[in-house]
Structure 1
């Protein structure tokens, strides 16, 4: 892995997921596996940047209508009925990357499970000469897995941080790691730091 041609994608590590005042925590989703991620991932970001790599923050986005109500799919509305006006809205506190992580070099607004679908991510990676991706964030079986599979289809070399991602249930997280073993390398955050320091 050439660090200068590598980007770490942090997926959905936003205030509306993780901050006590965010949409998910207000709705009672206080999951320790989620809140532990930023401090675990930050040293990987720092190690990659010290070697000339790139940090891209992928942020879930609910686009507001002119009246402020979010454009939201019926499936997601049924799954997360608590999502309301202003949640995950561009420019809002909840949409922003959590303070525990350094500001990203680039930000991608994700509106579906994949960070590649109808976004500028692929253009950006190609323009920067990125060939390797490290993925981390939320949730393992959702946006992380879908983005990773899309990256694989586009011939990016990928590595998933096994302890730098999480799902609502640990069993689902572990099952997803197993299902992804055929399309990506997997490593812990500590292993990624060691690899980058040795590069």
Structure 2
């Protein structure tokens, strides 16, 4: 079996953006699935890697981003999935977790040939990260109950595209065959 890493995408967030009111209900719905995946990965010794936008704060580091999110008005959404001391953290500037980041190198160094994606936004960062993982020959799993969306119809289409065009396995966070 291929070694896998859990990628938690863009969940360290203050939700101070124009479409946050559309995203937050889906985040709250997906939060139990995300926490289930994170706990399962940690129990199983699977690498948990947070890949997150830096929101244009180029002089900050992950502790500052986390503190801003935890102390913001939606800290209750961030608290259940916060990184622990063993979690790895990669800062990204654009949609894909791979675009101009060291993620591919980090995964290869840890012997991971597969990833499980969770986080936000299904029809944007999750989709683009899955595509970039596919072209880099990683096995991809997406837990449909652990990804949040802005537009439900686009999220459904994105999940279908990942499954059909990128050979992603789309399942739930409770799936006993999930590679964590």
**Which of the five TM-score ranges fits, normalised by the shorter chain?**
0.7 to 0.9
Structure 1-normalised TM-score? Answer: 0.74
The 5 Å alignment of 1:102-181 reads: 102-104=82-84, 105-181=87-163
Secondary structure at 1:181 match in 2: helix
Bigger relative contact order (CA 8 A; separation at least 6): 2
* Offset from partner CA, 1:97-119 (integer Å, 9 cap, x none): 92111425101111011111111
Which runs of 5 or more structure 1 residues have no equivalent in the other structure? 18-22, 67-85
Q: Offset at 1:10? A: 0.8
CA RMSD of aligned residues (A): 2.9
Q: State how far apart, in whole Å, the 2-side matches of 1:55 and 1:89 are.
A: 15
Residues 1:30 and 1:151: Cα distance change in structure 2 (over 3 Å): closer
CA contact (8 A) 1:59 1:95 kept: no
Rg (Cα) greater in structure: 1
Q: Offset at 1:155? A: 0.7
How many positions carry a matched residue from both structures? 169
Q: State how far apart, in whole Å, the 1-side matches of 2:17 and 2:12 are.
A: 10
Which runs of 5 or more structure 2 residues have no equivalent in the other structure? 71-76
Residues 1:121 and 1:31: Cα distance change in structure 2 (over 3 Å): same
Q: What's 1:32 paired with?
A: 25
The 5 Å alignment of 1:1-80 reads: 1-2=1-2, 5-17=3-15, 23-24=16-17, 28-29=21-22, 31-64=24-57
